[in-house]
Chain A
Amino acid sequence: MPRIRRELYSKEICACSIFGAMNRDSERFTGAGVMKAIANMHVRGNGLGGGFAAYGIYPQYKDYYAFHLMFTGKSPQAKLSAKKELDAFLCQKFDVVYDEEIPHGDEATVSDPPLVWRYFVLPKKQGEDPSLSDEDYIVENIMLVNTRIENAHVFSSGKNMGCFKGVGYPEDIGEYFMLDKLYSAYAWTAHGRFPTNTQAWWGGAHPFSLLDTTIVHNGEISSYGTNRWYLEMYGYACTLQTDTEVIAYAADLLMRRQKLPIEIVAKILAPPIWDAIDQMNEKEKKLLTTLRMVYAPLLMNGPFALIIGQTGRMIGLTDRIRLRPITAATRGEMFYLSSEEASIRLISPQLDRVWTPNGGEPVIGELNSMRKVLQ
């Protein structure tokens, strides 16, 4: 029997800036404002990663899954050969209705860019696959690509949305992909990164995404090892060498596969402390005790603030003792989340309401409605 090798994964540690803006009336707007806001937190990053998620950008292809692929490699040939391998795989598993290189600016403005391509696809299920839902089928195949095909990386895979990310300051990445000119979305999230221990690679930048769920995250997940093994039991391969990935997978497991509402998911990722639970009424006590018991390995420990983007909504959450606060604000139909209030004020000087949510309490912005729940 071959010896089981050590689980030699390495976790990236980073401090960061995060920003999100959403129009709850579904009015679409360009990335210009968000780029300006995230650039205002320039010093919270160190130029080793920036990225954006945009919702509602592909209305003409809204029924197709939009795969954004990154092909890395030392030479253009290496990138193309990775693409060739991926294309063969993709044609076998999916119907590709359209594909193109994602338009970008001058390659000289960023460091070592990979070849970035987008495909609009529908699942082509064969054999035993039909028993899977479309989404399970896609997740399974993304895991296959990301673990099996060297130098090819799916970094965005939802419908009518997309992630753009890379090595550089977020404003540089935004310009490289021309987010202020080419795209308009009803919700944007953005991330500027300050990793402390990584070699820069484009796949390691935020957002992290699976299907239409995207995560931008500021902080460190001290429970990474525990979260990781639990998610691996459910078939999630953590390949991106960063702790943020586990949040994306946890969100996918709990919200999409297990269909738990976000209010419950927030109580799993950042549960109240036992002393508080013990004071609650019997019903709440039972619910929260059971949640903590069943989902103990998904508690996200350590300091974090994160923005989860999904079709039609944007959610802010901090760790349960709020070691990394987040600021929320509204102005008319606009809903903002940010590491710093100044960035919100920069693009919207007048605000109707500004607040700092409590630790572990989710702030949820949904199209045309705004809920604050499970008090």
Chain B
Amino acid sequence: MKSFVFPEFQIIRDEEKCGQCRGCERQCAFGTHTYDPVQDRLISDDYKCVGCQRCVIFCPKNAIVVRPTPSFYRPNASWSREKLEDLKKQAETGGVILTGCGSDKPFRIYWDHIVLNASQVTNPSIDPLREPMELRTFLGAKPDMMDISAKDGDVEIKTKLSPNLMVQTPILFSAMSYGAISYNAFRSLATAACKSGTYFNTGEGGLPREMREEFGRCAIVQVASGRFGIDAEYLNCAQAVEIKVGQGAKPGIGGHLPGEKVSAAVAETRMIPMGTDAISPAPHHDIYSIEDLSMLIFALKEATNYEKPISVKIAAVHNFAAIASGIVRAGADIIAIDGLRGGTGAAPKAIRDNVGIPIELAISSLDRRLRREGIRNRCSIVAAGGIRCSSDVIKAIALGADAVYIGSAALIAMGCTLCQKCYTGKCNWGICTQDPRLSGRLNVDIASQRLSNLITAWSHEISEMLGGMGINALESLRGNRDHLRGVGLYEWELDVLGIKGAGE
């Protein structure tokens, strides 16, 4: 059938500069560039280009430009080009439109409507280069009070404490499984997490055996609806266990790792036969209610001898705050909430762009809910989905999060350009693929260095902003909405965020 869809990108090759080295041909897994020996020149097929910019960056002669094509259709506010073309694709295939990465739709990004405070006169700002600035954070349940016995200056703690995760900076790597991402990408995240005093999350793909001893100390292992890759050692080598209930990019639906991505190593790690589809069902089939969840939480606590905090990750949806409160009462030590703009390796576009609520609103309403119920100290909140920079992190914390997960941001640090083709398994950047030719492009030393540089850079910026507010410990900013003001928001939005308007 002849496709009526226009190419999304246009490839412009400067023939003067091109040295016919065929580098671009090798770089592109989508087969965009081919060499014509007769003419001794490279031919590019715009239709195949996904706009990942790999060939552009790696062309030794800087001879290629790839840019989005303008729309050729008559302008129509209702029928945008994307709507027209998605419809055409479905008419041509009869299939669900798949996509990758977080939603690119123009939902209001509240981060960009919130401004931070700074000290002037009455309270000195603090220079982080001269004074200590503390970002250390503990994730897990805290008791309501501490019972101690003091005898002759010798103090004993009598209260039994829950296990907590200590992070040196409130930024963790979000769940991305080995299988969805390449071994090198996975290992880069693990290496960087250990180096930066934070944690990576295995996602639902298991933790390869040879990585357990070295990287278990900075791993959060996930238990999800497919139960892939779980054994006692997997649970116990990590520092925390996360039950994944939902994901911001695709609340309410499961996951599907196609058989072609299930290589021998992935199969071994996931504990499934090679080449079979790895399907994570939409719900956990042993969790149809909150009491079922509680049983799983305690099963995992038993399995880990009550030595690890248990996190429950849910997508931020309409009534999630009440659900999260139930989850805390069900025994969870950490609630991870994933917002509307959270990323994914593969999701139906209709779901990704239409289900869930923005993370900023979710953080604030969850924090408020737990405070009102007097159980805020019984769990930590880790926020995910759309954290792009250090100021997003600090705003998330002032709205009530304890820490954030970053997924897309981490991938971008490794080279990702958000081309949204993760589901094809052909990632030219070697991140979201199991093709050894492609994944070999990602050098673990370099990628992990880029990741830990990112953490370092953001931590410095957070310290600067914190010092500017006259605060020298991050814990004094947590839930401290006093330091935030809204710009250009409606009254109801300010109400949900719990912040004043600028100038108020």
Residues of A within 8 A of B (CB): 3-9, 11, 13-15, 196, 219-220, 222-226, 229-230, 232-234, 257-258, 260-261, 263-264, 273-275, 286-287, 290-297, 299-303, 320-321, 323, 373-374
Contacts and interface: CB of A to CB of B under 8 A. Distances in A.
Contacts of A3: 492, 495
A299 B146 CA distance: 15
Contacts of B150: 261, 263-264
Interface in B175-201: none
A302 B470 contact: yes
Interface centre among A13, A196, A225 (most CB of B within 10 A): A225
Contacts of A299: 473, 475-476
Nearest to B371: A229
Contact of A373 (B122, B142, B153, B495): B153
Interface in B115-151: 119, 121-124, 126, 131-132, 134, 136, 138, 142-143, 145-148, 150
Interface stretch (B93-101, B226-234, B477-485): B477-485
Given A223-B476, A225-B479, A260 B148 contact: yes
B476 A226 contact: yes
A6 B499 contact: yes
B374 interface: yes
Contacts of A15: 122
Interface SS of A by simple majority: loop
Interface size class, chain B = 35 or more
B500 interface: yes
A295 B146 CA distance: 9
B470 to A, nearest CB: 5
20 contacts: A6-B500, A196-B121, A220-B122, A222-B470, A225-B480, A226-B475, A226-B479, A229-B479, A264-B150, A274-B132, A275-B132, A292-B475, A295-B146, A296-B138, A297-B475, A301-B470, A301-B472, A301-B476, A302-B123, A302-B470
Given A3-B495, A6-B500, A303-B124, 5 more contacts: A8-B500, A13-B123, A196-B121, A224-B482, A234-B374
B313 interface: no
A15 B122 CA distance: 7
B382 to A, nearest CB: 16
Contacts of B146: 258, 260, 290-291, 294-295
Contacts of A273: 132, 134
A297 B498 CA distance: 18
A292 B482 CA distance: 22
Contacts of B476: 222-223, 226, 299-302
A223 B466 CA distance: 11
Nearest 6 CB-CB pairings of A with B: A223-B476, A225-B480, A301-B476, A225-B482, A296-B475, A220-B123
Interface centre among B147, B157, B494 (most CB of A within 10 A): B157
B155 A287 contact: yes
Given A260-B148, A290-B161, A297-B475, A222 B123 contact: yes
A303 B123 contact: yes
B33 interface: no
Nearest to B495: A6
B368 interface: yes
Contact of B495 (A5, A261, A295, A297): A5
Nearest to B402: A296
B482 A11 contact: yes
A226 B478 contact: yes
Interface in B451-476: 469-473, 475-476
Contact of B494 (A6, A11, A220, A257): A6
Contacts of B368: 4
B345 to A, nearest CB: 35
Contacts of A302: 123, 470-471, 476
B284 interface: no
A220 B124 CA distance: 10
Contact of A224 (B136, B148, B480): B480
Contacts of A263: 150
A301 B148 contact: no
B142 A226 contact: no
Contacts of B483: 222, 225
Nearest to A223: B476
B448 interface: no
A374 B153 contact: yes
A294 B142 contact: yes
Contacts of A14: 122
B164 interface: yes
Given A258-B145, A264-B148, A301 B371 contact: no
B270 interface: no
Interface centre among B153, B155, B371, B496 (most CB of A within 10 A): B155
